[in-house]
């Protein structure tokens, strides 16, 4: 494994769009059975507003990080019911012929607004707002939630790790701990939160994330001795490579690594033992051998707490696997997709909300803004309900507010700036700025409440 060059995610030349299969069946059955019933009673074409939000953050977390928006928009373009999907639905008797006819021509023609990918979010934050007919919008529930819940969980954990690492790079290497497609998504989500590289080649190809990796213990064990293994790796990759020095004895491994590559050895990797103590010893040994520029990379089941504990150690970068791709103890953000307004019999939009105990909602489409204090740091998440005109006027007249929502899809057309490599670059930049805007205590790893409170204001009475 080698430390990546300082190439920003998304900076590689754009590739032609990779064909992907339909995403239409990546959904739950009840989305289609609701559609069938709504088509039957004439309510399918009622205009509706759905919001994606989480009722609470995972225990002890102070903020969440929105990720997956770009992937969702890409998947939306592939949300088509082709012959294969329709034939299967018909054979299984999932829905009737009228519904199959509707699905055959399905295209989302509504609008989607949302927080910019990479933005910090809090309980009740409307990170995505989907507007369209019930028939068009309801079908997107499972797709939106499966992508945003997974990717945001990874990004939220990754943000805690990059925050704990301060200016030292974090490298994602968790592909072997996840589903093969989730591994690609996790690498992208980690990059949103500032990870500098990934071991996953498909993530590198698809999103332009710098790829990292050199050799595992198996390569050393393949050879008759450590000297032969190191010599082979240096011959293939050059002296700037990273040599794994803990297969046998670390001190002897460091001596052999410098002997093989010279004092220009790029880095050594430590993957076991007391990493803090070992890093101190290895740094002193490298300096004594004249390899003062050789970096130290540490791996081995790291999470944000382990990274924070190594803050005083002479470590140059961190390789993180299982903890980042699984959300470091919080594998989902608990986001929900709720109907908050729909067209009434009068033709006017009416707010709707659940009133059930512990899950009561707030009806009406919401605009969101973040109130900033005199120091430029967030003090409040403000949600506003009212007519579009009232909301726009209110947000624009408040100098202390930063509007959080942006158009992502307009009349069914996806804004490509939010997708692909460009979208990832924008998300990475937005996260950096958003995290810097949080209150000073927001980055502490100790358990606490959300970093800023959320308030809801109702305009127009």
Residue 4 is predicted with a pLDDT of: 36
The owner of tokens 């707030």 is: 362
Residue 392 is predicted with a pLDDT of: 65
Residues in the chain where the model's pLDDT stays below 70: 1-19, 387-389, 391-392, 394-397, 460-461
Q: Using an 8 Å Cβ cutoff, are 350 and 387 in contact? A: no
Q: Using an 8 Å Cβ cutoff, are 22 and 75 in contact? A: no
- Residue 439, in any domain of the structure: yes
Domain match, 140 and 159 both:
no
Domain match, 163 and 213 both:
yes
- Residue 332, in any domain of the structure: no
Residue 144, number of CB atoms within 10 A of its CB: 25
Residue 55 belongs to domain spanning: 47-73+109-148+337-353+361-458
Residue 447 is predicted with a pLDDT of: 86
Residue 145 is predicted with a pLDDT of: 98
- Residue 90, in any domain of the structure: no
- Between the alpha carbon of residue 337 and those of residues 53, 135, 211, the distances in Å are 7, 15, 35
Both tokens assigned to 191: 């990059």
Domain match, 417 and 440 both:
yes
Q: β-strands 349-351, 335-343: how paired?
A: antiparallel
Domain match, 188 and 276 both:
yes
- Residue 206, in any domain of the structure: yes
Burial class of residue 55 in the structure, from the number of CB atoms within 10 Å of its CB (0-12 exposed, 13-18 middle, 19+ buried) = middle
Residue 395 is predicted with a pLDDT of: 62
CATH number of the structural domain spanning residue 379: 3.20.140.10
Residue 118 is predicted with a pLDDT of: 98
Alpha helices of 67-111 — where are they, by DSSP H?
Answer: 69-77, 83-92, 97-104
Domain match, 306 and 405 both:
no
Domain match, 129 and 215 both:
no
Residue 357 is predicted with a pLDDT of: 75
Q: Domains in the chain: how many in total?
A: 2
Both tokens assigned to 130: 């989907």
Q: Would you say the C-alpha torsion 366, 372, 373, 374 has a positive or negative sign?
A: negative
Name the percent of the chain in helix, strand, coil, to the closest 5. Answer: 40, 20, 40
- Residue 101, in any domain of the structure: no
Residue 459 is predicted with a pLDDT of: 79
Domain match, 261 and 382 both:
no
Residue 211 DSSP class: B
């Amino acid at each position: 494994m080698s430390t990546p060059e300082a190439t920003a995610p998304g900076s590689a030349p754009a590739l032609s769009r990779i064909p992907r299969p339909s995403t239409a069946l990546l959904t739950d059955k009840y989305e289609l059975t609701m559609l069938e019933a709504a088509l039957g009673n004439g309510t399918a074409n009622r205009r509706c507003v759905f919001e994606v939000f989480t009722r609470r953050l995972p225990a002890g977390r102070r903020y969440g990080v929105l990720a997956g928006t770009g992937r969702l928009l890409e998947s939306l373009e592939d949300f088509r019911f082709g012959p294969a999907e329709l034939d299967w639905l018909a054979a299984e008797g999932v829905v009737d012929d009228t519904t199959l006819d509707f699905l055959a021509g399905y295209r989302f023609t509504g609008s989607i607004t949302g927080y910019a990918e990479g933005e910090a979010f809090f309980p009740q934050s409307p990170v995505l707002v989907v507007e369209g007919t019930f028939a068009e919008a309801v079908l997107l529930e499972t797709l939106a939630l499966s992508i945003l819940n997974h990717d945001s969980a990874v990004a939220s954990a990754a943000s805690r790790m990059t925050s704990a690492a301060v200016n030292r790079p974090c490298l994602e290497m968790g592909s072997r701990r996840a589903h093969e497609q989730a591994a690609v998504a996790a690498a992208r989500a980690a990059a949103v939160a500032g990870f500098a590289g990934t071991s996953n080649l498909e993530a590198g190809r698809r999103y332009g994330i710098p790829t990292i990796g050199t050799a595992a213990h198996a390569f050393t064990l393949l050879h008759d001795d450590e000297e032969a293994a190191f010599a082979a790796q240096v011959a293939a990759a050059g002296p700037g490579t990273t040599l794994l020095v803990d297969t046998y004895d670390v001190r002897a491994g460091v001596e052999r690594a410098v002997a093989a590559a010279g004092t220009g050895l790029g880095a050594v990797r430590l993957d076991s033992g007391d990493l803090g103590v070992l890093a101190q010893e290895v740094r002193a040994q490298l300096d004594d051998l004249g390899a003062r520029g050789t970096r130290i990379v540490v791996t081995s089941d790291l999470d944000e707490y382990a990274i924070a504990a190594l803050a005083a150690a002479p470590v140059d970068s961190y390789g993180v696997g299982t903890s980042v791709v699984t959300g470091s103890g919080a594998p989902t953000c608990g986001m929900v997709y709720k109907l908050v307004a729909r067209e009434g019999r009068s033709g006017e939009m009416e707010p709707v909300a659940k009133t059930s105990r512990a899950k009561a909602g707030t009806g009406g489409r919401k605009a969101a803004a973040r109130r900033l204090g005199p120091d430029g740091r967030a003090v409040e998440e403000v949600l506003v309900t009212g007519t579009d005109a009232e909301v726009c006027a209110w947000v624009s007249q408040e100098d202390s507010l930063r509007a959080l929502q942006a158009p992502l899809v307009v009349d069914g057309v996806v804004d490509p700036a939010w997708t692909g490599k460009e979208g990832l670059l924008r998300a990475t930049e937005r996260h950096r700025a958003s995290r810097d805007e949080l209150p000073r205590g927001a980055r502490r790893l100790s358990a606490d409440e959300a970093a800023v409170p959320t308030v809801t204001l109702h305009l127009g009475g």
